[in-house]
Structure formats: C-alpha cells, structure tokens
C-alpha cells in the first residue's frame, strides 16, 4: 500500500466530492456558459489510442448557473445561482453547499433586514435542499482554503429558497460509511451522495461511453439488444425462471446472450456488441450479484489473435487517465503454464513466489513420505519460497497455512527455513543430504531468511494448494507492511490454450465443457476430438487482471456437424434443445468468435473497491435481497393465478404465514 | 405515398443492401485502409445541432481487406480479400458475393488449371460462406451496372476458400419476406440478412449512440444501470414475477425504472439516463412486446419547459440525416385542445379534418334526436368534414363507418353531403332550415362534394368516436390514392396539461392516477388538490409523433407530505409498499423530473415499419413467444423445486401432459 494514488474505500468517503476533479470533467476554471473559453490547463492527449476527453455542459437546461464545484477567482463579481444540499452551517455565518460536483461556501447575510432568512437557514436541518442566489467574492485575506477547489472564493448570499427540508436523519451522512454495509444498502439514496459512490458511478458511465465510441464509432460495431426472456439452455443451472401465462411454460433469464450473438453473426451482422444485462441465481455467493453486466462482443471473419488485439485497444481507449498508462499488447500465458507456475488459471502476476517443481532432486531421497509421494502415478513435490519469511512469519502463520492446506485440499505441507545464520531448520532438515541442500539452493535460489513451503503428493492437489497458499502468504506479508500487490499497478494477462473438455466431477468417465459447448477446438488438436477428446485444447481465452478473471471468450464452432458431434457424442446433451442453433449453423454460418468482459468486476478493480457492490448503484445483498425496497417480497395467490403456479410452502412456514 | 424516399417494408427487402449506403457509413470511395484519404463527397454538417457523422473502420481486425460494398474504380489493380455469402452464381462465370455492406461481382477463373475450383464453386449452394482473394478490375466496356454501388468493377478471383457450406434452404432468402411473419420469426437469422433488417438495426444502433453522445458527452448525464429484479409496485398489474429461493417471495420485472431514477436524484446524481430494458406482460396485445426499451431520463433542478428543450435537442442531434430536417421547438397542445379537436390525446397533425362543435347552431333545431342529445347534461353535436368525400367514399364506406361507431362507441352517426350540384343530401336534410344550412357552411367551410359526419350525444363518447372516425376516413382516402399522412413528414407534438387524476372506470367515485402517482400537480392548480382533485392538471407531458405516443414524462412530487397525501388520501393505495420512497423524499429530495422515450416505436416510425417487431433483432410473436427457440417452454418439476413453486395444471392439460 505504498502508493496513495488509489482512492481507498472508506477513507475518503466523506461527502466532499474532490475525487470528481480527477474524472476529467473539466480542465478549465472559466465559466462553462462561455462557450468560447479556452481551457486554462489543457491536457493534450498523450496517446492517440486513448479517448479524447470531453467537456460536458453540466449546467445546461438546469435551474442554476453553476455547479457547487466550479467557481473560482475567475468568477469573482458574477451573479450566480447554485442549487444543492446543506452540508454544514456554522454559527449563522456560513453555509457549505454541496452538489455532485463539489462544495461552495455561502456567506449568510447578517443585515437586520435579512434576519428572517438567517433564522430559517440556521434552523434548517443539514441535507436540506436549497437554491442560493448571490455574488462570487474573494475570501478575506488569509482565509482561502487551498485544499478546496473553490477555496479561494465564497458566495455572498442575496437570497435563498428552501426547495425541500430534510428530516432529522438517523445518522450523519459522513458517518454512514462507517456503519454496516447493510445500513448503507438500506439507505442507498444517502450512500449515493458520498464522493466515492459519485466517483465510481460517473467513472463507470464514462468508461462505458468510451468503450461504445471505440466499438461503434471507430470500428463499426452494431449495438444490438437481445432478449432476456429466453428459454432454458441445456445444462443451464442457476437460471431464473419466469412463469408465462401458458400453463407450465416458463421463460428463463439467460446467463449471457451467447446464442443470440452467434445467431446475429449467422444473420450477417458482422460485428456486434452490447452492454448486456445477465442473470445468474447463485443464492448467497459472496460478491456475486443475481444480475450483472457484461460488455458482450462478437465478430465474424476473425481469429483469436485479432479479438485479443481488439480488446487491448478497447481497454486502452477507455482507460481512465488518472489511473496511469497501461501497456499493450497484454502478455499471454498458456493454461498449462499458469497452472504450473501459479496453481490457478487467473494468476496475479504482480508478484513472483511462483510454484517450482523439485521432484527430480528428490527422486532418490531417503525421506520416505517424499519417496512415497513420487511413486504415485501423478506424484510430485512442488514448492513456493517466501523471501524473508523468517522475518515476517509468526509461528501462528505456519499453523494457519498448514491447517488451510489440510482442510481445503487435504494436503500436508513441509516448511524448510534457511535461517539467517545459514543453518537449515525443518522437520526434514536432518534427512537432507548436503547434495540436496545445494541442489535446493540452486533450484530455488533460496537466500538466508527465506522460507520454503513444500507440498508432496498428487500433482493437481499439491499444486492447487500451493496456488492458494501463495495468495495467503501474500496476504500475511502485506499485513506486515510488505508491498507485493501494488494497487496502482494493473497487470493484464491473457490465458490461452485451455482444455476443451474436463472430466465430470461426479463421473470422471464423462466429459463436460471446460467453458461452454460452443467453443471451437484448437486447430492443431482438431484430429484428437474423435480419439482423445481429453487432450484437445480449445480456442478459449480468458482476460485476467491482477489475479481476477475479468473476461473470457472463444472462437466458436461454426460447423454444424462438429457442433452436433460435440453436443451428442462427447457431452451427451439433448441437442434437440439447440435444434434452432444447429439449423442456423447449417444455413451459412460465418467463422466467428467473441468475448465478454465483466464490467462490474473490471470497475471494482479500477476504483479499488473491495466488492462489486461498490460500483453498482442499487446492488443486492449477498443473499440476493434489495435491503431498501425489501425485494423479493410476498405476492398474493391471486397475482400468481394468471401464471398457473402456486407456492409450495414448507410446512412450518405455511403456518407462520397463515398466522401473520 | 407520394414520396419514394421512405424505404417501404417488403418492397426493397431483397438481400441487396443498397439502403445501407444512406446510413452515412461513409462518404468516400477511397480505400478506408488509407487513413489519409479525403472523402470524395463530403457532407458538411448543415447544422451544428446534429451529431457529426463518423467513419468507422469496417475492416479493422477482420480477416478481409475490404467489405463487399466499398470497392470502386479507385481500387482497380489492388489485391483484395473479401468474405461473404454467395448471393448468385451465374453459368460458372460469375459469383455475386454479399456481406452487410453490399455486393461485389466475382469473376470465376476459367483456366483449365482452375477447373477444380470452378467445379466446387458451381456446385456450392447459395448462401454458403466463402473467402475470395483476387484483383479489382474494371468491368468490360458497356457492362457497368450503375444501379450497383460497386457496379463499375469486378474482382478477378485468384483463389477462394469455402468457409462454410449452406444446406439447401427451404426457401430463397429474397422470398422470405413474402412468406408469413411467423416464418420470418422462425428463421430470424435468415431474415436478418435482408437489407431492410440490416438497415433498421444499424440505424437503431447509430441513433442510440448519438443520443448517448448528446446526453453523456455534451450534457454530463450519467448512464446508470438500475436493477430489473425488483419488487411489485403498488397497482403494478402486468408485471412478470420471478420466483426467488425464499419460499413465497418473488421479484418482479419492472415496467420502468421510475422509482430508481427518482432515488438517483435523491442520491444527488443530478442527471441520469439509461437505455433501459422494461417489461410488461400484456399477453396478446398486437404490436406490444413483453420486453421493450426506453430512453430513460431524469434531472434535478429542472422544470417542464427545460426538459422539453432537452428532448428536442436530443432528437434533433440524433436524427438520421437521410430523413431530412425536423423543426424545433416542437409545437405543444393542451390535453383539452387535443381532445377537443382530434378526439385523442395523441393527434396525428399531418392532416386536418378536425372535430368541430356545431351544438350552438342546433340549439333550437326542430330535429328531435339532435334536440334530445343537447338536452342531456354533457350533450353535444360534434362533427368532422371529409373533403371530396362524395368523390372518394363508396356506399359501403358509410355503412362501415356507421357500424364502427356503433360497435366501438355505441354512437349513432348522421352523414350530411353537399352534392357537387349544390343540393344537400342527408337523412336530416329535409329538416334543415336554410338558416341552418348557411350556418353549417359558415362553421364548417363545407364545399361542394364534401361529406360531414355528425355525432350527437354525450360529449366524451361522440368525440372519441369522431377521433377514431377521423383516422378511419384517412385510411379510406389513402386507399383511394389521396395523400393525407405523408410518411416523409415527421410531426412532433407535445401534449401538456393532462388531468392529474381520472375517475376509476369501475368506480367513478374513486380516483386513479392518469399516469402514475409520482406526477406533480400543475403549480396553478395545487390548491385544488385538497378540494377538487378532479380539476387538478398535472405536470405530465407526452411526446407525440405522427399520431403515436413516443414518450412521456413529468415533473415529480418531491415533497413527502404531498406524495403521502396523494397515495393515501386520494388514491387509497397502501403507502407501506412505498415506504422507502417516502422516507427518501423526506431525506433531502431535490425538485426533479424526467421523461422516457419508447425507442422501439420511435425507430419503427422513422424507418416506416408497420410493426415494432421490424426494429427488434429477436422479437416475440404477438402471443409472447419466441418462434425460433420456442420460448417459453416446459420446465421439469425438479427445476422448480428450488423456487418452492409448482404448476397448477388446468385439469385437461394435466392429462395431456401426463400422456406425453
């Protein structure tokens, strides 16, 4: 956490919207009503790939002359009308007025003739809404507030109009962020007034707008809206159902517009995008939302490399200037390499601590549990090394890591420490030969004070455990003040060459799609699909940012026969549910592929929010509830009648309900 | 139908995408890969209020060098690679290749060495997808096709790649439009290849993009996504329900983001917009869709006139250049005037034939049924006049009009004709005094050959009948070749000063909102709300285009007490369902208002489509079905278990289902 550039949620969340300044909403201090004005500080675009910044007129059509964030010394002497919320009132002398754009200090008139106005203003509850007319004046010498964008001026009030009184709120707004998240959700309309929420929602709007400009205006993509009342997809668990008026028939809310985007390509649309609402009923998974948004893209006559290039350009074009530059092209890594070095398919490459294989050096070891592990069919000895682990790790940490590996992966661990004095400390150290110690030093580059964590056993299990421990160790180190994952760094990474099929968890003899059944096989492996489908790599690609999957896509199968073979012979699905798609593929389907980016997650990472709920205006709780309106809610049996459904009340609930 | 400018649905619907030319996708014939090229035909923007036209790169990232619509004599000699669908193949000599952008004629090589390629191409079914590499050459002298944008050139094929064979289609694509709409829906992916569908979807995308530029980039609106899984709104009939995993609790799919947009204003967002998906379960209403799209807008610190100005600017900015200019500001008309002159609140002002009141001149008539009508409390004699009705109307027309008025409005009609020879012809003509005839001429300006249609009775009923008859008469006249409603003319009109409340149909003693309960009363009438609510006008406004309502909005109630009074005392609603909104209004709600435009309807009117289904990529049938995928569909009881619902099978259906 060395850099302070990231707006840390909860620290700068008071209702002082200074963060909005960095949104590039303006680069000028001249009244925006003067259309001829030149920006005082112009920011020439550093790179043509980034969207040119725009300067909207924030006062057009509104019953004000200026926002509360824009007045400066250039406006001195001007008559202005401001509208906003009463943020503070101080001793009957000042009011600080707030709107989305900032704060302006208003001087309450002290003349006898204005005594009535003064009294009303002094008694007005905070967060009441008023309109103020007055004159911009310089602050008295020595009283300028240079921390405040409008801090060199104040507005001498001539008149004020109470537009709406606020009741006495149960808490101060600036306190709201410190309260529980549930309270913030319940009073979301108050929470939205915080500078952080204003910043996040405005940044979201602007980034999406730039993405649209890039796709639509620069590259001729067509924004097509696809239906959300669709039908169940084969294997589509977690799809919400929507009863129709036809008895027993239901729509489903789709998890993505996958079928529609492919049908659009078959329909000759050529290049499609949509900021698409998607639905997934995942009950109480933390940090998931029942409805979420993806930037959904599909192109005809395309290959994998070109789609990746398109997306790199898209992100670069829409990237917020205040977040610094990002490098393109993004590096790529095969799925096999990601699993091998990081134990996960979405590695956080902001730090090392990669998984290393030390099986070979222990091939002839005397240590029996290591020898046993290696004698198994997929046995391996894998490890990560924690630099300066001796200094930062406490005894409790070792215990916790051991327990985590055991409980989540049923994996035993062995810790090996090279003490600062050069001695080895480990349960196995007395069994290590000098040769082995020397090899270990050579392979792992261990330094005095480092800790090695070894996992011996089944390759997949050991590796998965170490992938998790790597992140856990990073958490421990960061909690002790070491910066490993700089929040100001954005490491994008493509993961490619995924397997096309995976053995089913409950029946490893059968296959399921690693992603979805429409993914095309890798051209080099296509012959294997009829003989060894488990060895076929796919043309799927994931986009990873700082250890989070923020997008995924693929080149699709465009050949009807191949699609049918995959569905029927390999996946054993009922292809009848997809007969319309198979028929479409047989009607002149162009080669095509696409991608979907998870907008909520991407935004959360950019603004440094700990949850996607912080970049969504009205999120649901982790149990899928709207805590403000209390949705979902009971519906009368009469209202269900047209849909030919009735509720199956669990016995005890039915009685409860009957009573209430 | 005098003007041919309008692309008439069904006439130019063949798969020749000439209409795309008019989308302004380019104004140049120079290869777009040459970024330095200047447009040969530049269209300087006539007015700064209209969005500048953009020139996207349609070949970026794709595995082609050019589209099938862009090659011209400037490209002669260039090596090109085109991808597309085989539109025609002629005698083994030519292939016409099609993509979304146009058609290019490809010359099949005739050399012996290419015999194999030629054979494959000749046997390839139409609509197969191929990639062609070749050289652009001029067409031989005299063979240029000036009707075709690429008609001066052709491409001498060097090689071709079959990307996907098309099966033998059950019909030719150009025949599809002539088939039933159900067939077009079932094979929507083929229908989308037609030039009209390509034009409509691309125009829709571009208009929405321009609207976004206007709102976001020019005026600082924030695009905020609001939830679609919400709860039932009071009185919200026609809302789809979505069962949740909590027994008996349901989400609802909202008809509009009304509550959320108001909460955003209360949250200080200041200016919001969203291209919002909305839901309404209207079963089998023709030309309605269960999901539809509205341009949803809300602003704080605003009044009615300013919102109207914003929308006029929005439509002007996004208006398609090829549809000609539109005039702003749009005229406005009070609800009372609209009802009085047109009998509807969405008058088509492209033609006259206004309703005229002739009650006064018949005040002392001898004609008993007229006298009786006038003696009733709200009795009136109203009429419209049809110019040259004698010439265009047949006997059957009079019968049909009479029957329509009787069956739909229980209204009797009286026809009065001034014959070309100057004599009067009517059931009542012999009872008309010369004085009355003279007055009638004076009031109605009747000319020889005109027909008057009189309706005597209750003002509301007579008026509603004449409003309908006016449109019916226009249909008749247009079917006889008279142009009344020029499809190339776009008459926008604001309707204002609606009543705030209407008597309930089933219980006229009680009130319901004319629009919705959040609409603010007209400031001039606010005192009446406590005494005579039936007399209160609202601050609602509708936007009408050529007789269709394409938008509506209002200034909202921002005072909690007033909102509560309206809900509880006037509307007798359970305000508990809206407690979160009432609490929000009491927490510093700014004055605010907004509007929603129906995007589907607006687009349908602009492209001259007879149904909104023609501007939606994947519409539902009028019974709410997706004829391609066959949604909605049956779902297994197991899939309903997590939602604690079961189907109430109608007895006979249950048996059918048990059998199948």
Q: Which tens digit of pLDDT belongs to each residue from B561-583?
A: 999 999 999 999 988 889 999 99
User: Does residue A102 carry a pLDDT above 90?
Assistant: yes
Can you say how many angstroms the Cα of residue B43 is from the centroid of all Cα atoms in its chain? 28
pLDDT, one tens digit per residue, over B467-476 is: 999 999 999 9
Which helix (H) or strand (E) segment holds residue A382: the answer is strand A379-386
Q: Distance from A78 to chain B by nearest Cα, in Å?
A: 21
Which residue of chain B has the CA closest to A237?
B639
Instruction: Compute the distance between CA of residue A29 and CA of residue A42 in angstroms, rounded to an integer.
Output: 11
Q: Tokens 């979301």 sit at which residue?
A: A188
Determine whether the interchain pair B618/A226 forms a contact, defined as Cβ–Cβ distance below 8 Å. Answer: yes
Query: Could you tell me where the DSSP H helices lie in B454-588?
Result: 459-479, 560-564, 579-585
Give B 175-214 residues with CB within 8 A of chain A.
187-193, 197-198, 201-202, 204-206, 208-209, 212
Overall average pLDDT of the A443-470 stretch: 95
Overall average pLDDT of the B316-343 stretch: 96
For residue B635, list chain A residues with Cβ-Cβ distance below 8 A: 232, 241, 248-250, 252
Cα-based distances in Å from B629 to A72, A250, A583, B428: 60, 13, 11, 60
In this predicted structure, what is the pLDDT of residue A235? 67
Instruction: Compute the distance between CA of residue B74 and CA of residue B153 in angstroms, rounded to an integer.
Output: 10
Q: Which of B189, B267, B310 sits opposite A61 (nearest CB)?
A: B310
**DSSP strand pairing (A249-252 vs B548-555):** unpaired
In this predicted structure, what is the pLDDT of residue A32? 40
Which residue of chain A has the CA closest to B647?
A645
Overall average pLDDT of the B99-107 stretch: 97
Determine whether the interchain pair A588/B127 forms a contact, defined as Cβ–Cβ distance below 8 Å. Answer: yes
Q: Distance from B359 to chain A by nearest Cα, in Å?
A: 44
Residue among B561, B574, B165, B584 at smallest CA distance from A187: B584
Sorted by sequence, the CB contacts under 8 Å of residue A198 that are 6+ apart come out as A17, A19, A20, A100, A192, B268, B269
Residue among A276, A278, A579 at smallest CA distance from B633: A579
pLDDT, one tens digit per residue, over A542-582 is: 999 999 999 999 999 999 999 999 999 999 998 888 999 99
Determine whether the interchain pair A648/B247 forms a contact, defined as Cβ–Cβ distance below 8 Å. Answer: yes
Instruction: Compute the distance between CA of residue B227 and CA of residue A5 in angstroms, rounded to an integer.
Output: 31
**What does the block give as tokens for B408?**
């739909």
Cα-based distances in Å from B360 to B363, B370, B414, B432, B441: 5, 11, 17, 14, 14
Overall average pLDDT of the A115-137 stretch: 97
In this predicted structure, what is the pLDDT of residue B27? 37
Instruction: Compute the distance between CA of residue A620 and CA of residue A630 in angstroms, rounded to an integer.
Output: 10
Would you call B61 an interface residue with chain A, using a CB distance cutoff of 8 Å?
yes
Based on its alpha-carbon atoms, the radius of gyration of chain A, rounded to whole angstroms, reads 30
**What ipTM did this prediction achieve?**
0.92
Instruction: Compute the distance between CA of residue B118 and CA of residue B432 in angstroms, rounded to an integer.
Output: 84
- What letters, b where the CB count within 10 A reaches 16 and e where it falls short, cover B344-355? bbbbbbbbebeb
Cα-based distances in Å from B155 to A184, A599, B132: 64, 43, 9
Which residue of chain B has the CA closest to A53?
B217
Cα-based distances in Å from A307 to A311, A540, A547, B248: 6, 11, 21, 45
Strands (E) located in B263-367: 271-279, 291-300, 332-334, 356-357
What are the structural domains, with CATH classification, of chain B?
73-164 (2.40.50.140), 198-333+492-615 (3.30.930.10), 351-479 (3.30.1360.30)
Determine whether the interchain pair A129/B588 forms a contact, defined as Cβ–Cβ distance below 8 Å. Answer: yes
Interface test with A, best of B53, B54, B240, B248 (most A CBs within 10 A): B248
Interface test with A, best of B617, B643, B652 (most A CBs within 10 A): B617
User: Does residue B586 carry a pLDDT above 60?
Assistant: yes
pLDDT band with cut points at 50, 70 and 90 for residue A40: very low
Instruction: Compute the distance between CA of residue A437 and CA of residue A434 in angstroms, rounded to an integer.
Output: 5
Given a contact cutoff of 8 angstroms between Cβ atoms, the answer to whether B363 and B374 are in contact is yes
User: Does residue B371 carry a pLDDT above 50?
Assistant: yes
Share of chain B above pLDDT 70, in %: 90
The DSSP secondary structure of A529-586, one letter per residue, reads GGT-GGG-BBSEEEEEETTEEEEEEEEBP--HHHHHIIIIIIS---GGGGHHHHHHHT
Query: Could you tell me where the DSSP H helices lie in B213-357?
Result: 258-266, 304-318, 335-342
Give A 104-133 residues with CB within 8 A of chain B.
127-129, 131
Give B 464-483 residues with CB within 8 A of chain A.
none
Instruction: Compute the distance between CA of residue A294 and CA of residue A536 in angstroms, rounded to an integer.
Output: 28
pLDDT, one tens digit per residue, over B395-436 is: 999 999 999 999 999 999 999 999 999 999 999 988 888 888
Instruction: Compute the distance between CA of residue A276 and CA of residue A551 in angstroms, rounded to an integer.
Output: 14
User: Does residue B37 carry a pLDDT above 60?
Assistant: no
User: Does residue B44 carry a pLDDT above 50?
Assistant: no
> 3-state DSSP call for residue A196?
helix
Given a contact cutoff of 8 angstroms between Cβ atoms, the answer to whether A594 and A255 are in contact is no
Sheet holding B379-386, edge to edge: B356-357, B379-386, B451-458, B413-418, B424-426
User: Does residue A540 carry a pLDDT above 80?
Assistant: yes
Instruction: Compute the distance between CA of residue A104 and CA of residue A124 in angstroms, rounded to an integer.
Output: 17
Given a contact cutoff of 8 angstroms between Cβ atoms, the answer to whether A289 and A620 are in contact is yes
Instruction: Compute the distance between CA of residue A384 and CA of residue A471 in angstroms, rounded to an integer.
Output: 11
User: Does residue B26 carry a pLDDT above 50?
Assistant: no
User: Does residue A115 carry a pLDDT above 90?
Assistant: yes
The dihedrals phi and psi of B512, each to the nearest 5 degrees, come to -130, 160
Overall average pLDDT of the A196-214 stretch: 97
Q: Distance from B206 to chain A by nearest Cα, in Å?
A: 8
For residue A64, list chain B residues with Cβ-Cβ distance below 8 A: 301
Which residue of chain A has the CA closest to B278?
A228
pLDDT, one tens digit per residue, over A161-193 is: 999 999 988 877 778 877 888 999 999 999 999
Sorted by sequence, the CB contacts under 8 Å of residue B396 that are 6+ apart come out as none
User: Does residue B654 carry a pLDDT above 90?
Assistant: no
Q: Which of B245, B299, B559 sits opposite A283 (nearest CB)?
A: B245
Would you call B588 an interface residue with chain A, using a CB distance cutoff of 8 Å?
yes
In this predicted structure, what is the pLDDT of residue A11? 29
Per the prediction, chain B carries an average pLDDT of 90
Would you call B62 an interface residue with chain A, using a CB distance cutoff of 8 Å?
yes
Given a contact cutoff of 8 angstroms between Cβ atoms, the answer to whether A298 and A592 are in contact is yes
Determine whether the interchain pair B617/A259 forms a contact, defined as Cβ–Cβ distance below 8 Å. Answer: no
Instruction: Compute the distance between CA of residue A16 and CA of residue A14 in angstroms, rounded to an integer.
Output: 5
For residue B629, list chain A residues with Cβ-Cβ distance below 8 A: 230-231, 259, 580
Determine whether the interchain pair B62/A268 forms a contact, defined as Cβ–Cβ distance below 8 Å. Answer: no
Overall average pLDDT of the A241-259 stretch: 95
**What does the block give as tokens for B642?**
């997590």
User: Does residue A502 carry a pLDDT above 80?
Assistant: yes
For residue A128, list chain B residues with Cβ-Cβ distance below 8 A: 588
CA angle A458, A459, A460 (to 5 degrees): 95
pLDDT, one tens digit per residue, over B55-74 is: 899 999 999 999 999 999 99
Chains A and B form CB pairs within 8 A to the count of 419
Instruction: Compute the distance between CA of residue A491 and CA of residue A620 in angstroms, rounded to an integer.
Output: 29
User: Does residue A12 carry a pLDDT above 50?
Assistant: no
Sorted by sequence, the CB contacts under 8 Å of residue A167 that are 6+ apart come out as A125, B586, B587
Q: Distance from A77 to chain B by nearest Cα, in Å?
A: 24
Which residue of chain A has the CA closest to B199?
A269
Lowest mean pLDDT among A66-80, A586-600, A643-657, B630-644: A643-657
Instruction: Compute the distance between CA of residue A426 and CA of residue A432 in angstroms, rounded to an integer.
Output: 10
Burial environment of residue B407 by CB neighbours within 10 A (0 to 12, 13 to 18, 19 or more): exposed
Can you say how many angstroms the Cα of residue B82 is from the centroid of all Cα atoms in its chain? 36
Per the prediction, chain A carries an average pLDDT of 90
Q: Which of A63, A169, A617 sits opposite B302 (nearest CB)?
A: A63
In this predicted structure, what is the pLDDT of residue B540? 98
pLDDT, one tens digit per residue, over B115-141 is: 999 999 999 999 999 999 999 999 999
In this predicted structure, what is the pLDDT of residue B658? 46
């Amino acid at each position: 956490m060395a850099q302070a550039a990231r707006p840390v949620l909860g620290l700068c969340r008071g209702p002082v919207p200074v963060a909005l300044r960095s949104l590039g909403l303006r680069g000028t201090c001249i009244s925006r009503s003067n259309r001829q004005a030149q920006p005082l500080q112009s920011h020439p675009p550093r790179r043509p790939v980034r969207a040119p910044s725009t300067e909207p007129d924030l006062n057009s059509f509104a019953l004000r002359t200026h926002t509360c964030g824009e007045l400066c010394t250039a406006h001195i002497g001007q008559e202005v009308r401001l509208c906003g919320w009463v943020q503070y009132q101080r001793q009957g002398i000042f009011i600080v007025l707030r709107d989305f754009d900032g704060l302006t200090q208003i001087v309450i008139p002290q003349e006898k003739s204005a005594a009535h106005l003064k009294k009303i203003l002094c008694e007005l509850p905070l967060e009441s809404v008023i309109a103020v007319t007055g004159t911009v004046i310089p602050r008295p010498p020595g009283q300028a507030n240079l921390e405040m964008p409008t801090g060199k001026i104040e507005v001498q009030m001539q008149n004020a109009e109470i537009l709406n009184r606020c009741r006495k709120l149960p808490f101060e707004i600036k306190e709201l962020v410190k309260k529980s998240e549930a309270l913030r959700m319940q009073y979301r309309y108050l929470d939205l007034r915080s500078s952080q929420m204003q910043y996040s929602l405005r940044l979201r709007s602007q980034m999406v707008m730039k993405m649209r400009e890039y796709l639509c205006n620069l590259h001729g993509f067509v924004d097509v809206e696809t239906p959300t009342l669709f039908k169940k997809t084969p294997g589509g668990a977690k799809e919400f159902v929507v009863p129709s008026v036809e008895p027993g028939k239901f729509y489903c809310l789709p998890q993505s517009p996958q079928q529609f985007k492919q049908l659009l390509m078959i329909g000759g649309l050529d290049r499609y995008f949509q900021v698409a609402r998607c639905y997934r009923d995942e009950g109480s998974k933390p940090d998931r939302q029942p409805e979420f948004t993806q930037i959904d893209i599909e192109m005809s006559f395309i290959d994998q490399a070109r789609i990746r290039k398109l997306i790199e350009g898209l992100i670069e074009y829409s990237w917020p200037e205040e977040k610094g530059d990002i490098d393109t092209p993004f590096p790529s890594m095969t799925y096999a390499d990601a699993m091998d070095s990081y134990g996960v398919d979405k590695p956080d490459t902001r730090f090392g601590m990669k998984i290393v294989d030390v099986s070979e050096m222990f091939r002839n070891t005397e240590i029996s549990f290591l020898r046993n592990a290696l004698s198994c069919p997929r046995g391996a000895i894998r490890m990560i090394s924690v630099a300066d682990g001796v200094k930062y790790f406490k005894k409790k940490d070792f215990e916790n890591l051991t327990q985590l590996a055991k409980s989540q992966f049923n994996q035993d661990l062995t810790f090996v420490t090279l003490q600062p004095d050069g001695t080895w400390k480990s349960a196995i150290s007395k069994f290590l030969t000098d040769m082995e110690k020397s090899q270990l030093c050579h392979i792992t580059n261990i330094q005095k004070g480092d800790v090695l964590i070894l996992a011996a056993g089944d390759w997949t299990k050991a590796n998965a455990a170490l992938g998790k421990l790597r992140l856990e160790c990073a958490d421990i180190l960061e909690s002790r003040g070491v910066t490993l994952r700089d929040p100001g760094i954005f490491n994008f990474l493509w993961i490619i060459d995924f397997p096309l099929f995976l053995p089913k968890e409950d029946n490893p003899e059968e296959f399921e799609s690693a992603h979805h059944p429409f993914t095309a096989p890798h051209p080099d492996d296509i012959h294997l699909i009829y003989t060894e489908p488990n060895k076929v790599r796919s043309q799927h690609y994931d986009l990873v940012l700082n250890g989070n999957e923020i997008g995924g896509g693929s080149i699709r199968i465009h050949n009807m026969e191949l699609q049918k073979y995959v569905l029927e012979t390999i996946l054993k699905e009922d292809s009848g549910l997809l007969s319309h798609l198979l028929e479409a593929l047989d009607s002149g389907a162009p080669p095509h592929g696409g991608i979907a980016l998870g907008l909520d997650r991407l935004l959360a990472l950019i603004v440094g929010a700990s949850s996607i709920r912080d970049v969504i205006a009205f999120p649901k709780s982790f149990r899928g509830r709207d805590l403000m309106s209390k949705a979902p809610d009971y519906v009368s049996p009469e209202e269900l009648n047209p849909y030919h459904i009735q509720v199956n009340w669990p016995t005890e609930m039915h009685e409860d309900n009957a009573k209430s």
